[in-house]
Structure 1
Amino acid sequence: MMSSLLNKVVIITGASSGIGAATALEFAKTGARLVLAARNVERLNDVASRCSAKGLPQEKIFVTSCDITVEENLKSLVGSTLEKYGQIDVLVNNAGSGQYVSFLNTSAEVFDNIFNINTRAPFMLTQMCVPHLKKTEGCVVNVSSISGQRSFPLALTYCMSKAALDHFTRTLAVDLAKDKVRVNSVNPGVVVTEFQRRAGMTEEAYKAYLEKQKELQPLTAAIEPEEVAKVILFLASDQSASVTGELVFVDGGRHAKAPV
């Protein structure tokens, strides 16, 4: 158990599935006080039950419905967190979205939706949390992607949104260093979640895609969400007290390989 996280108040967006749910479960082991936010409350409640099964008391789990593209929802998320716990120590900007579409077929609606979720919402929510993070000398962990630093077909807008998030991480880290607030990101490669299928990949294509990762991500092939969650936990803990402005690749070595 990372004792430095005991009773810390941790907000996790997109906590209903994938990396967000895995992150909630990892933090549950530390005795942190959790704020689980997403649109799907039924799935959030399931994650909350799994956190309880890890030994986290019910009073340390707060589930709240939140559409991060709606500014009033973000204000409510921060306000209700402060009302319940009185502080904010860690913000995990995890919620994300993508869509497989060619450049010429990318509509303004698709572009705006991806940027609103992947870039604007983390910007706005972090802005709202920073005054409270300064009080606790807390930290921000952004969940980015290898796509922020590498190019992939049919994912131009997604890659752009994550590149913007990466530079947000580095620049904000410098801005907030004087306040002892750390800002880092994890940049996963392919993780076994619902992301690719939600973005439009067929089951057959997804199966082949996972098989291909054995070559592209040589250490691990496709990664389980728990592996990303463990790195998020590290970046949120005192074990990384001198780390800020870092993009931590969790991709089985994929970012280090030459294109094949």
Structure 2
Amino acid sequence: MLTAQRGTDAEFEAIPADFTDPDSPAQVVAEAVSRAGGLDVLVNNAGRMQAARVEDMPLADWQRNLTAPFLMIQAALPLLRKTKGSIVNTGSIEGLGSNPGHAAYCASKAGLHGLTRAVAVDHGNEGIRCNAVAPGRIDTELNMGFIEAMPDPEAFRRDIAGIHPAGRTGKPEEVAALVAFLAAEDAGFITGQVYTVDGGRMAKLSLP
């Protein structure tokens, strides 16, 4: 397995990449093919949270989050066409709803969900599948750091757990398991779908 990422991971061979550079996706795909000899699966799992309302959002921040996965898909399609490969995009429940001050993030994830369906429709006859996962609150390093910055992290954790019917936040491994399934041949008749992984949060109505 090859990963393109900002940091390092001792478990997997990595290709350092800066996805704010529009030339980076094509370079990453070319390097992956050079090392591995081909491409079977593309998982788009990069994003950036910008906290701002529409009036306060710089154009560059608005454009950033959806461009990288689009360019990655564009670069990968000729290779995936050869292998009848699969694409899995990481969206978000904020592609279905929005938290306050998340205009660009919300719009980019909704756009990624739409792009997922469009790629599935346009390239299904070439043997390419495209699906997305839409995680909710997951215990990633980014989210854990956000919680630790709260005035009372323990109270915040209790409040966040309480809005989930599952009674807790999610684990990265739980999202990864679904991504692995969608990428595999066992999911060969699944395409154009967006799967919510949120402990039931989006199914729960707020109290009056």
Q: 2:57 aligns with which of 106, 121, 126?
A: 106
Give the 3-state SS of the residue equivalent to 2:131 in structure 1. Answer: strand
1:228-254: per-residue Cα shift (whole Å, max 9, x none)?
Answer: 111101111112111001111110011
Moved over 6 A (4+): 197-201
Rounded to whole Å, the distance in 2 between the matches of 1:163 and 1:179 is: 25
Report the counterpart of residue 4 of structure 2 in structure 1.
Answer: 37
Q: How does 1:194-213 map to 2 (within 5 A)?
A: 194-196=141-143, 202-204=149-151, 207-213=154-160
| TM-score (normalizing by structure 1) | 0.74
* Change in 2 beyond 3 A, CA 1:78/1:100: same
- Measured after TM superposition, the shift of residue 205 of structure 1 is 6.2
Number of residues paired by the alignment? 207
The 8 Å contact of residues 196 and 206 in structure 1, kept in 2 or not, is answered as no
Pairing 1:239–2:186 present: yes
Q: 1:164 aligns with which of 99, 108, 111?
A: 111
Unpaired segments of 5 or more residues in structure 2? none
Rounded to whole Å, the distance in 2 between the matches of 1:174 and 1:208 is: 45
| TM-score (normalizing by structure 2) | 0.91
Report the counterpart of residue 132 of structure 1 in structure 2.
Answer: 79
* Change in 2 beyond 3 A, CA 1:89/1:78: same
Question: RMSD over aligned Cα, in angstroms?
Answer: 2.1
1:65-97: per-residue Cα shift (whole Å, max 9, x none)?
Answer: 101121222222111111111110000000111
1:98-121: per-residue Cα shift (whole Å, max 9, x none)?
Answer: 122233332334323xxx2x2110
The 8 Å contact of residues 100 and 200 in structure 1, kept in 2 or not, is answered as no
Give the 3-state SS of the residue equivalent to 1:203 in structure 2. Answer: coil
Q: Which amino acid aligns with 1:183?
A: C
* Change in 2 beyond 3 A, CA 1:195/1:248: same
* Change in 2 beyond 3 A, CA 1:166/1:150: same
The 8 Å contact of residues 197 and 206 in structure 1, kept in 2 or not, is answered as no
Q: How does 1:30-179 map to 2 (within 5 A)?
A: 34-40=1-7, 44=8, 47=9, 49=10, 51=11, 61-112=12-63, 116=64, 118-179=65-126
* Change in 2 beyond 3 A, CA 1:227/1:120: same
- Measured after TM superposition, the shift of residue 217 of structure 1 is 1.5
- Measured after TM superposition, the shift of residue 200 of structure 1 is 10
* Change in 2 beyond 3 A, CA 1:111/1:207: farther
Unpaired segments of 5 or more residues in structure 1? 1-33, 52-60
Rounded to whole Å, the distance in 1 between the matches of 2:36 and 2:137 is: 35
Pairing 1:218–2:165 present: yes
Rounded to whole Å, the distance in 2 between the matches of 1:205 and 1:86 is: 50
Give the 3-state SS of the residue equivalent to 1:71 in structure 2. Answer: coil
